[in-house]
Amino acid sequence: MTAPATPRPSSSSSTRPLELHGRPRDAELLIATPDVAILLYRRDLRERHKGGKPETATVSAADTYVRRGGKWLSLLYQETRLK
């Protein structure tokens, strides 16, 4: 299975733009069935608040993939900001 090179960051009206910073880390691939896989990892995002300084935030992300017609498709993406 080949995962996408860059996960999709969430967008928020109060923080734009978001920039991916560094590579995913602590990655773990869980194979639920031969046609379902879950990729878990952490990633740093750089946020630029309007009129403020850039900040870096770490998120924990999960991307669930299903295999359909021989291709792996992202079914669900979720991320949570870590404190």
Domain for residue 52, yes or no?
yes
12: pLDDT strictly greater than 80: no
Give the domain extent around 51. 15-82
56 neighbors 20 (Cβ within 8 angstroms): no
**Between 9 and 45, the higher pLDDT residue:** 45
Domain for residue 6, yes or no?
no
Domain for residue 43, yes or no?
yes
How much is the CA Rg of the chain, to the nearest whole Å?
Answer: 14
Asked, as a colleague might, if the bond just before 24 is cis with ω within 30 of 0, I would say: no
d(CA 15, CA 56): 11
Percent composition of the chain: helix, strand, coil (DSSP 3-state, to 5) = 0, 75, 25
pLDDT in tens, 57-76: 899 999 999 999 999 999 99
Q: Per the structure, how many domains does the chain have?
A: 1
User: pTM for the whole thing?
Assistant: 0.66
| CATH at 60 | 3.10.450.50
Q: How far apart are the first and last CA of the chain?
A: 31
